[in-house]
Structures are given as structure tokens and as C-alpha cells.
Amino acid sequence: MRIGTALFAASALWLGCAFAASAQQAEPGTPARLMVTVNTQQTAEPVSKYIFGSFIEHIGPLIYRSLWAEMLDDRKFYFPITSQQTEASARPGGFPGMQLRKWRPVGPDEVVVMDKDHPFVGDQSPRIALDPSTPHGISQAGLALVKRRKYTGRIYLRGTPGTRVMVSLIWGEGANERQTVTIRAITAEYKKFPLSFTSGADSGAGTFEIVGTGSGSFHIGAVSLMPADNIDGFRPDTIALLRKIHSGMWRLPGGNFLSDWSWYNGVGDIDKRPPTFDYAWHAMQPNDVGLNEFMTFCKLIGVDPYVTVNAGFGDAHSAMEEVEYMNGPVTTRLGAERARNGHPAPYHVKFWNIGNEPWGTFQLGYTPLKYFVLKNNEFAKAMRDADPSITLIASAKMLEPMALTGENRAKYVDNIAPLFGTDIDWTGGILKNCWGTFSGIAQHWYEGAGTHFDIQKAKALPLDAPSNAADVNYDPTTLEYARHAGDIILRHAEEWEGYQTRFPEMVSHHTFLSIDEYAYGGPGGRGRMGPDLKSALAYGMLLDEMMRHTSFITMAAHTMGTSSLNITPTGAVINPVGLVYELYGDQFPGTIPVAVNGSSPQPPTNSALYAEEPKVSSGRPTYPLDIFAALSPDRKYLELAVVNATDREQKFDLGVTGLQPSGPSTLWQLTGNNVDAVNPVGQPPQVTLKEIPMGNAPKIIPVVPLSVNVYRFPLAAQ
């Protein structure tokens, strides 16, 4: 994830960020009668299940509070423990959305010393000086507790024999508003002790306390607390919801975090993995969720893993060993290590990506293109030596006017053709210098409506001006907002087809495009309680456009996977955007796209004026609706996706060439009362996805306002 887009990306990732909602506006005139024709005899490549994928990165709360069930922060004691705020623990410049809860001394500050001589894990472990009568120790406040819910965990302790340690879960201020586990069998060597509690009340301010009495001291090595119903360490509520979405694949781990992460720290005994500092996002990483946990997670939610290797500070040797660890038989050195870590069978990870956004100068370990192509080739050879069967995806960035700076912007912003194949064209450089090392190429984007990149304004900018100085704002209607999401996909498809023209072997070798990271936002689209119905309309059009390019768009990973849910510490629901992925992930994997035509062209674009717009509008001539059609894999059904991003009912006449609809049909309808509708946790959903039985396919089909719809029509046997 590009640091320059972090604030936008944060709005696409976490629940507390918001855009100002825009009012519904009038659309241009619609046809009196919309005629739509579907030709079932004109087909394209099947829709890959992998285009409904997701991406996740170790930043903020995206893994350690949304997916992983651990309730305690800094459970391996990376930070000093003091009653004072420290610069290190404040994490200046960290990712928005997650402030770590801190351990605080119970007793004077001086009773807690961070012992660096013989730490249990990492660089230090807290040593607590004891008093015979006054409990000394540490505590962490701010835990969310649920009445009668059971919590289990473990703690590693050593100390002066005779020490009595009390570990308590506290849900109130009264003497009886806590439960305590007393541990007396303290020895000079670390021992693991089980913990079990049941909360006596609901609380958003619970406290976990570890104190002791006696003489001498005791050390705390590591501690963990999770709800007892966790599934292999993961939250059962978010796992159940993500399993419903049928994402196909998850790209993990990835993002800027990856370029400074050693996979070696993410395997083995979870309590002995050292916490490390993530210099990309200025955060401590506990290393609890590593490679094995990611594979468990993928199995739990029913998706295939797609692994990115560290090509920032990492090297080809570590990448080769990572492939061997994941895919090697137990007869290999690292396959044997995987077996010792509890998984004898190889994971057989098929998809591998070399590096995260290596084109970004912000990237840790950044290497210029002329050298990165050498690095890519070295990585590819080493990784294939470990497993020749893997599918490799190279990291690149298609050349676009919006990214030009300085003299390149002044000279070429209105005609970038001379820059293809130069040192600033990462995709062209990979195609030219790395051919044979990859099967697909990755592209990332974070964009939204509400801003045009004005070409003439860009040409007139001072050379040292940032490119966004050429932006001009506009107020999109809801339909324009939704349509622009599909336009972004079409613009990238046009660019890809340009590369295919320059490198025709891409077509004959079936080189594919993987949109490894993307998120759509802009004015409106995210209410105070997460993505709203307006966002859902846009993502419907976005996915429709992806499915129109199945000859080369075969993988995509939405940023982030958890942004399909609204999540609190004790609950979760699928939000409106997640409902779109649930609907499409259920209905379209493996389907065979068929031709759609209509009587109402989409409005033309202004690509001559604004560089972010495609040459033609996305969609088909079915304005104001967006319509995509496909045959089921067995060709027994016609599936029709219809997005109505207007505030009134639309109707269309449906004509079908070839296979004919026959028999009772079904409609899956996603809608709400207004564009700002959201799905808050713990409240009735404002956006719903309903299955509605229909009779025989009507000739005239009504489409309710502000809705994403999938119609399934049985087809007559031939």
C-alpha cells in the first residue's frame, strides 16, 4: 500500500473514518423504453473465482483485533512499562484506527524493571519486585467483556520460590467484580500456567491484572487472553461472516509492512516469536499471526492463499526458503521444520507474488527499475528451484499521466506514448526485461470519484509542483459516483490492452492481470458506521466491469478483506460492500459471460480533458442501468446482474438470442431506503440482501431504485 495514499486507504479499511455524504442528485434523461438484448451464443472466458478476492496487511486493527482473537496488546512486552506515556509507546505517525493499550505498574513505577539479561522472548521481560503484604505487578485496562462469556489463556512465570501470583479479570470497581486465578508453583525457571475466567458483567473498560506478593521478585515471560470460543486463535464471528462471502482467494501477507518483515519470525512457537517494530507503519508487531496462522485462516474461510514475498529488505534466498517451508515435502530441511511446527503436509500454495509496490520510492528497500528487474529474475529462479509448479506474479505499475512529475509531466502528460519502455514504466520494464519469470502482473490502485485530473492544468504546473495540484473537484451524482468505479477498471483494461499491443506474446502466453490491491471511495460512500449503500452500488459496477474482461483479469484483491465487515470488539456484521461480494461470490464464479447490448448508450467520457477517465464509458448501452450477463457453468441458467444507481424504478425489455429463458426464476436483491443506509453492529440492518422467488421470466423487468440485483433464469433444454 502506497504511503501517499494512506489516508484514503485508511478510509477504505477501518470503521471510524468517514467521508461527507453527498445528496442524491438528478440524473440526465433516461430513455422512455430501454431495450436490452442478451446473446447467449457470444461468450467469453469463464469468470475466475479469484476476482472476488481480498487483501490483508499487518497494520492497525486489521488482523490483531478484527481477525485474531487475542485481547491483550503487547503481550510479549516490547514496550517499557511505566505510568508515564513514552515516545516509543505513543507510536508517532502510526496507522490511524488503533492505539495500543499499555501495561501500567500496579504499585510504584520502580517495582517494574524491564530485564534485558535473560528475556523470555524478544529483548526484555518485566521483573516485578515483591512485597510481603502489598501486591505489586502490572495491569492493562480497556478490554471489552461480555457477561457470562468464558475467557481462557496462559501465562509464563518464573521467580523466587514461595511467590504467590494473582492473575485477575476485572469488570467493575467492587471487590467482587473480578475473578482471580492464584498461582503458587513458581520456580526459578519459566513455567506455563493456564488461565480461565468468566466475566460477571458486560464492560467496555475491563482490566487484566497480574500481581504478586512475597519476597524477592518474579518475571512475566508472555501472557495471552482470548475468548474461549476462538477457532484456532481467530474470532469465530468474523470467521463465520467471511466464510459466507466466498472470496476465492486472499493475498496475505502484503503491503508496505512486508518489505521489513522476516517470515522466519512468523513461524514456530507463537509465544517465543519475538515482537518486532514495523518501520513502514510505525507500529509494533507481535508476530502472532504468521505463515501457519494465515494458512489456517484461509482454510477456515474456504479460500486459496496468495503469498507475497519480501523483495524490499528480503532476498532471493529467503524467498526460496519460504517457498520450501510452505510447499516442500518433509524430506526437505524446511518442510521438516514445518512438520515440527504442526503441519506435516505441504500447503501447496500456488500463487506467489514477488515484492510489494517495488516501484514506490517510499518502499523500504526501494530499488530502481533497472536493478529491480535483476532482483525479480533472481527471485523467480530461486523460488522455482524450490517448487517449479508455482504461479509467479510480478509486481509492476502501469504508466499513467496522473503519476508523472517534473519534466515528464510537462512534456508528456497529454501523450505518454514516448515514455513506454523507459525507466519510469515499471510494467513495460518487467515485460521487456523479465519475460519468462512470471505468469501474471500485479497492479494496485486506490481511487475515487469527486476529482478530475486536468491535463491542461497539469501541463502548466511548475516542475516542482506535486501532481495532485492538477486536480479539480466536482460533485458527482450517485449514478456518476457508481459508474466511475467501473470506469477505473475499464481504464486499466485499456492500458493493459495497450501493453498487449506492444508485447503481443502476452496474448499468446495468456499473461494475466492481478489487481492485487484496490479500494474505491470519494465523496460519500462511507458513512459514520462504515460503507453504505452508495458504496455497494459502485462496487457492483466495479465487479461487473471486471467480469467483462475475463480474458486477462483473473485475480483481484479488495483492500482490505476486513473492510467487508463492520467490526466492534465484541461483534461483527457484513456491511453493504461485503453484501455485494457475498452476492457476486455466490453467483458468478465459473460463469460464462455472454454479450449484452441495448438501446441507450452510456454518457461519453471526457478523456481528452481528464486523464483519469477511460476513452469510453464502462458498462454496456443500457443507461442508466449497468447490466452484465453470464451462463451458469452447466449452461442451464442465465445470470443477469443489474445495478440501478438512480433514485427511481427503471424498467427494461429483455430479449434473449440463443438459449431461451423458461420456467420459474429467482431474484437476489440488495437495497436500502437511501444511499446513506449502513449496517451498524448490534442494530437492524439498513441494507439487506434478499432472495425473492419469481415466476417465468417477464419480458419487461422492473428494477427497484438504489439496488444491486442478480436474476437467475432457467434456460430451456436444447
Among candidate residues 16, 21, 38, 22, the one with its CA nearest the CA of residue 596: 38
Rounded to 5°, angle at Cα 286 from 283 and 287: 115
- Comparing 341 with 2, the larger pLDDT belongs to 341
Find the mean pLDDT for residues 544-551. 98
pLDDT at 10 over 80: no
- Write down the architecture of domain 87-227 according to CATH: Sandwich (2.60)
pLDDT, tens only, 448-468:
999 999 999 999 999 999 999
3-state SS class at 296: helix
pLDDT digits (tens, 9 = 90+) for 671-705: 999 999 999 999 999 999 999 999 888 889 999 99
Task: Give rounded-to-5 percent helix, strand, coil for the chain.
Answer: 25, 30, 45
Q: For position 522, what pLDDT does the model report?
A: 64
Which residue from 427, 410, 408 is spatially nearest to 418, judged by alpha carbons?
408
pLDDT of residue 98: 63
Mean pLDDT across 61-83:
95
- Cβ–Cβ under 8 Å, residues 445 and 392: no
pLDDT at 717 (0 to 100)? 72
384 vs 594: CA distance, rounded Å: 37
Regarding beta strands 191-198 and 391-395, do their DSSP bridges make them parallel or antiparallel, or are they unpaired?
unpaired
Q: What type of residue sits at position 34?
A: L
Q: In the prediction, which pLDDT does 697 show?
A: 81
pLDDT-derived band at 521 (thresholds 50, 70, 90) equals confident
Which residues have a Cβ under 8 Å from the Cβ of 638 and sit 6 or more positions away?
38, 40, 594, 629, 630, 631, 632, 656, 659, 661, 711, 712, 713, 715
The pLDDT score that the predictor gives to residue 61 is 83
Residue 133: other Cβ atoms inside 10 A: 6
pLDDT tens-place string over residues 470-511: 999 999 999 999 999 999 999 999 999 999 999 999 999 999
Q: Does 3-13+48-66+232-401+420-450+506-587 match 87-227 in CATH topology?
A: no
Separation of alpha carbons 480 and 478, rounded Å: 5
Q: 642 phi and psi, to 5 degrees? A: -135, 120
Query: What's the confidence (pLDDT) of residue 104?
Result: 97
Nearest alpha-carbon partner for 622 in 27, 38, 26:
38
d(CA 209, CA 167): 6
Three cell numbers at 5? Answer: 495514499
pLDDT > 90 fraction of the chain, expressed in percent and rounded: 88
What Cα–Cα distance (Å) separates residue 433 from each residue in 119, 206, 373, 418? 48, 57, 6, 18
What does the pLDDT average to over 392-396? 97
What is the distance, to the nearest Å, from the Cα of residue 417 to the centroid of all Cα atoms in its chain?
33
Residue 340 is inside which H or E element, if any?
A: helix 333-340
pLDDT digits (tens, 9 = 90+) for 99-142: 889 999 999 999 999 999 999 999 999 999 999 999 999 999 99
Q: Please report, for residues 267, 304, 323, 350, the alpha-carbon distance to residue 338 in angstroms, rounded to integers and kept in the order given.
A: 8, 19, 11, 17
Gap between the Cα atoms of 200 and 152, Å rounded: 15
User: Which of 248-257, 302-311, 341-350 shows the lowest per-residue confidence on average (mean pLDDT)?
Assistant: 248-257
Considering the chain, what is the average pLDDT of its residues? Answer: 92
**Architecture field, domain 3-13+48-66+232-401+420-450+506-587:** Alpha-Beta Barrel (3.20)
- The answer to whether the bond into 624 is cis (omega within 30° of 0) is yes
Query: Are the CB atoms for 4 and 10 separated by under 8 Å?
Result: no
Domain positions in the chain are 3-13+48-66+232-401+420-450+506-587, 87-227
- Selection from 551, 315, 541, 283 nearest residue 440 by Cα: 551
The pTM is what? 0.93
Question: What average pLDDT score do residues 616-634 get?
Answer: 97
- Helix residue ranges per DSSP H, 509-657: 533-547, 576-587
Region 344-352: mean pLDDT is: 98
pLDDT in tens, 221-265: 999 999 999 999 999 999 999 999 999 999 998 899 999 999 999
